[in-house]
Structure 1
Amino acid sequence: MSDPARTSRQLVLLLIAGGLASILTAWGFQLIGGYVPCKLCLEQRIPYYVGLPLALLALLVMLRGTPAQGRLAVTVLLLAVAGVFAWGAGIGAYQAGAEWGFWAGPADCGGGGGMPDSAANMLNALRSTRVVSCTEASWRMFGLSFAGWNAVISAGVAVLALAGAWIWRRGSAA
């Protein structure tokens, strides 16, 4: 018979490893590969910045082995992680759909910043600025863009968090 607490910890470890690999890959494509993220791409990173620390906190509470209070805290933390990554999956699906032309993307996505203060600075800005559209996929693998893959990965992380919470609660009821 398997230990529900151990299974939950393993799911949370898998969640953290997968999420960390995903966000590090995104940073790698940006910093090493030269892919410039758009506004929605940057927004899709927020669940990783919020959800992974919450998952790590849940894992630390799990490892402390505290009874009822810890079990409730872990469940709440993992449900929050699931919610945050579900939101990230939704943003990824929205952007992927916009890239495929299923619906319009955001009107304010495409780069830009402050106005240059002189003509010379404007010319330098035009030479160095790459405007990135939220509705044009810069890369695809097996038909999915960065946004499409993020939707899949974020949904998977959300499912792992839900499964971890469910098994953790089921184990605490026994």
Structure 2
Amino acid sequence: MMGATAKGQANAIAALLILAGLVAIGTAWGFELIGGYAPCKLCLEQRVPYYIGLPLALASLYLSLKGRSGLAALGFVLVAAVFAYGGGLGVYQSGAEWGFWAGPSDCGGGAAAPASAADMLSALQTTRVVSCTEASWRFLGLSFAGWNAFVSGGLAVLGLIAALLSLKARKARVA
């Protein structure tokens, strides 16, 4: 019975991780597509852990549901590592925004260059260069990067909790 409880808890934590991650990446897309906030190059890089971590979390949840607690635990550890990396990117950009350290020297807009010389003048008039070292928005003192660091850190912790609970479920099943 203890194994079933740990497995159920691991699955609930994994579902929470997936839901929270979807809300976070959906919010980022919303600010961009609806709110008109253009992401910088580093902002776009901070989305990659969501694109990797969420499908991996879903696969790990599937493994857990199928009784493969050991593999699920490994998957959740990988999920935690991916989101810890994403949190580190957020901390790096936040520190650069606050002037604690220099940001990347190649960080501008996330858009591609114009395809032709004729389009260049038009692009110069409409393109807004976004710096990785200037926060375009803050809420409760945190920028987009700061919120990403906070959320990614939380998702990493949830991944570790799901991994530990999966191991506990595996041990209980084996015993």
For normalisation by structure 1, the TM-score amounts to 0.92
1:165 aligns with 2:163: yes
Structure 1 unaligned residues grouped into runs of 5+: none
1:132 aligns with 2:130: yes
Q: Distance in 2 between matches of 1:129 and 1:142?
A: 29
State the Cα distance separating 1:121 from its structure 2 match. Answer: 2.5
User: Displacement, 1:122?
Assistant: 2.4
Are residue 50 (structure 1) and residue 48 (structure 2) matched? Answer: no
- Structure-2 residue corresponding to 1:87: 85
Identity %: 57
Aligned residues: 169
Deviation of the 1:116 alpha carbon = 6.1
Unaligned residue ranges in structure 2 (runs of 5+): none
Say whether the 8 Å CA contact 1:116–1:125 is kept in structure 2.
Answer: no
CA contact (8 A) 1:30 1:37 kept: yes
Over aligned residues, Cα RMSD in angstroms? 1.5
Instruction: Name the counterpart of 2:69.
Output: 71
- Give secondary structure in 2 for the equivalent of 1:104: coil
Q: Pick the aligned partner of 1:109 from 101, 107, 110.
A: 107
Letter matched to residue 113 of structure 2: G
Structure 2: how far apart are the matches of 1:117 and 1:25? Answer: 34
- Contact kept, 8 Å, 2:114 with 2:123, in 1: the verdict is no
Aligned partners of 1:146, 1:78: CA distance in 2, in Å? 25
2:6 aligns to what? 4
Scaled by the length of structure 2, the TM-score of the pair is 0.92
Equivalent position SS for 2:166: helix
Pick one of 16, 19, 22 that aligns with 1:17: 19
Instruction: Report what 2:35 is aligned to.
Output: 33
Letter in 2 for 1:95: Q
Larger CA deviation: 83-92 vs 107-116: 107-116
Between 1:1-10 and 1:132-141, the stretch displaced more is 1-10
Could you tell me which residue of structure 2 aligns to residue 60 of structure 1?
Answer: 62
Instruction: Check conservation: 1:5, 1:167, Cα contact below 8 A.
Output: yes
Q: CA deviation at 1:62?
A: 1.3
- Matched to 2:143, the amino acid is S
The letter of the residue matching 1:7 is Q
Matched residue of 1:77: which SS? helix
CA distance in 2, matches of 1:95, 1:46: 15
Q: Residues 85 and 158 of structure 1 are in contact (CA less than 8 Å); yes or no, is this contact kept in structure 2?
A: yes
Q: Aligned with 1:109: secondary structure?
A: coil
